[in-house]
Amino acid sequence: MTDTTTTNESGPVLQIRDLSRRFGGVAAVSGIDLDVAPRETVAIIGPNGAGKTTLYNMVSGRLKPTTGTLTFEGRDITGLAPHRISRLGVSRSFQINNIFTEMTVRENVEVALTALHGWGKRWFNVATRAKPLQDEADTLLERLSLSELAHKRAGTISYGDKRLLEIAVVLATRPRLVLLDEPTAGMTPQETKRVTALIKSLAESGDYTFLITEHDMDVVFGVADRILVMHRGEALVVGTPAEVRDHPEVRRAYLGEEDEEDAEETAS
Ligand SMILES: Nc1ncnc2c1ncn2[C@@H]1O[C@H](COP(=O)(O)OP(=O)(O)OP(=O)(O)O)[C@@H](O)[C@H]1O
């Protein structure tokens, strides 16, 4: 059996144990074990219907597990509501609908920062005066390559930039675990390349811990420290990109469910 856990001196950020979810007779996720260490980037991949979304939705609280446990920083979060899990420090990207389109790019980040600092509705007054907050917003915009768009209305920027802004907003809440759900979905190849490089640099900064689902294998192999490969609800293998790439069962799972050309791309 594959060991899908890892040990870390300071303990895992996220610990998944024997996690399962059934929908009637369908075992969407079965007996998943996974540890995500601090500052690690773990990607979940697998063919269509493998159970990635179901697993991801259990971690964020959108779905309750049928059995098993989820532990975040030593605390049992199994079955907690999404907002409670989020308040504990697990932030997920929302695919753009957490962006205020009428506000500028910078204001969007400032709103998220004021929420973090607990200034609530006074955000605008505070935001226009508080230098540390502005500096923090600038730093985040710079990290996401959005500085040049800081004064543009968020509704007017490109799709790829909106996704980056959305990541900036998520990071502004200083999450200790960031869930990115298909961060490059719907992007042009150029946008995908740019976003992949940025996620990689954020991951390499050592400031964040990421759990990512993604269909694009170039993105996955470009950013992940470890990859969990799911197949029919189960963990087929977890390992480094090199281990996963060379794993015969992974090749077979993809070869079995995709056409040969796709599978070769996946494995290359
Ligand atoms: N709400 C639901 N009700 C019934 N069955 C479901 C439900 N959600 C998922 N399933 C089933 O659970 C299995 C896993 O689905 P899931 O969406 O988690 O897979 P996935 O790996 O995310 O697939 P994809 O890559 O196509 O998004 C599939 O057989 C799917 O049909």
Question: Average pLDDT of 213-231?
Answer: 92
Number of the ligand 1 atom closest to the C-alpha atom of 55: 18
Beta-bridged to residue 177, according to DSSP, are 90
- Ligand 1 atom with the smallest distance to the CA of 215 is 25
What φ, ψ does residue 57 adopt, rounded to 5°? -65, -25
Q: Which amino acid is at 228?
A: L
pLDDT for residue 125: 56
Q: Is a pLDDT exceeding 90 seen at residue 65?
A: yes
Q: Is the pTM of this model over 0.80?
A: yes
CA proximity to 4, closest of 247, 249, 227: 227
Nearest residue CA, atom 12 of ligand 1? 28
Nearest CA to ligand 1 atom 16: 51
**Which pLDDT does position 257 carry in this prediction?**
46
Task: Report pLDDT for 3.
Answer: 46
Contact of 99 with 169, CB cutoff 8 Å: yes
pLDDT of residue 268: 42
Q: Percent of the chain, pLDDT > 70? A: 84
CA distances from 99 to 32, 85, 96, 155, 171 (A): 33, 21, 6, 8, 13
Instruction: Pick the atom of ligand 1 nearest to 54's CA.
Output: 18
- Joined tokens for residue 126: 């505070």
* Domain boundaries, given as residue ranges, for the chain: 1-89+176-268, 99-174
For residue 227, the cross-strand partners are 43, 239
SS3 content of the chain, % helix, strand, coil (to 5): 45, 20, 35
Give the phi and the psi of residue 72 in degrees, each rounded to 5.
-115, 120
Nearest atom in ligand 1 to 213's CA: 22
Structure tokens at 212: 């990512």
**C-alpha to C-alpha distance for 28 and 25, rounded to whole angstroms:** 9
Kindly give the distance from the C-alpha atom of residue 78 to the centroid of ligand 1, in angstroms, as a whole number: 20
Q: Is the pLDDT of residue 5 over 60?
A: no
- CA 57, CA 27: separation in Å to the nearest integer? 15
Ligand 1 centroid – CA 103 distance (Å): 36
- Contact yes or no for 127/181 (Cβ under 8 A): no
ipTM of the complex: 0.97
Q: Is 77 exposed, middle or buried (0-12, 13-18, 19+ CB in 10 A)?
A: buried
Superfamily in which the 1-89+176-268 domain is placed by CATH? P-loop containing nucleotide triphosphate hydrolases (3.40.50.300)
Which residue bears the tokens 């259990």? 58
| Residue closest by Cα to atom 18 of ligand 1 | 51
Q: Which residues, other chains included, contact 1 with Cβ-Cβ below 8 Å and sequence gap of 6+? A: none
Q: Is residue 213 lining ligand 1, measured as CB closer than 6 Å?
A: no
